[in-house]
């Protein structure tokens, strides 16, 4: 059997004597508070945003509300393949498939479509696995960030609430 080199991380990163003092940690916290107070009170560099008037800029990697995309012609991309439902670790997605009839053939590219598509935001953990699993590029987590609701029914996203009105190309990989 071979030997294993074990590194004692706690001994390697031993704090200095002054960092172990209780008063040092209190002084550090008070210094940060004082800096924010001076910046907000005297230098007009407010730390908070005036929310309804000013919106926060999010990173391109931000996962917001779920949206369902259409293709360039305006047809629904979702073909109810159930990949997003099966891969969801929180079991938040429910899909009911329907067959395309000749009357609605112009709205759907294949022979199946999602008759009912619901995402329960109370269960969703916003992991993005549904977005990665979708072979058609139908579902993305790029919607708005405001997800507050007054009742539980508003936190269940239906297909009609998620569907975009206009079509476009499939978005590339996330950054």
Residues forming the annotated binding site for [4Fe-4S] cluster? 78, 81, 84, 88, 124, 127, 130, 134
Which residues define the annotated binding site?
78, 81, 84, 88, 124, 127, 130, 134
Closest CA to 157 of 143, 170, 171: 143
Query: E-strand spans in the chain?
Result: 67-68, 93-99, 112-120, 139-140, 156-158
Q: How far apart are CA 8 and CA 98, in angstroms?
A: 60
- Using CA atoms, how far residue 110 sits from 40, 100, 113, 134, 165, in Å, is 57, 8, 7, 15, 19
């Amino acid at each position: 059997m071979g030997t294993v080199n074990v590194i004692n991380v706690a001994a390697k990163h031993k704090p200095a004597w002054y960092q172990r003092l209780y008063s040092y940690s209190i002084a550090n916290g008070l210094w940060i508070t004082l800096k924010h107070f001076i910046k907000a009170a005297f230098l007009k560099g407010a730390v908070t945003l005036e929310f309804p008037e000013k919106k926060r800029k999010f990173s391109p990697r931000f996962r917001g509300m779920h949206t369902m995309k259409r293709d360039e012609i305006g047809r629904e991309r979702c073909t109810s393949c159930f990949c997003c439902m099966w891969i969801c670790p929180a079991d938040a997605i429910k899909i009911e498939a329907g067959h395309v009839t000749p009357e609605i053939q112009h709205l759907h590219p294949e022979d199946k479509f999602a008759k009912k598509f619901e995402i329960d935001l109370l269960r969703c953990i916003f992991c993005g696995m549904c977005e990665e699993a979708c072979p058609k590029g139908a579902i993305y987590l790029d919607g708005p960030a405001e997800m507050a609701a007054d009742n539980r029914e508003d936190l269940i996203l239906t297909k009609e609430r998620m569907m975009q009105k206009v079509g476009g190309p499939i978005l590339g990989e996330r950054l």
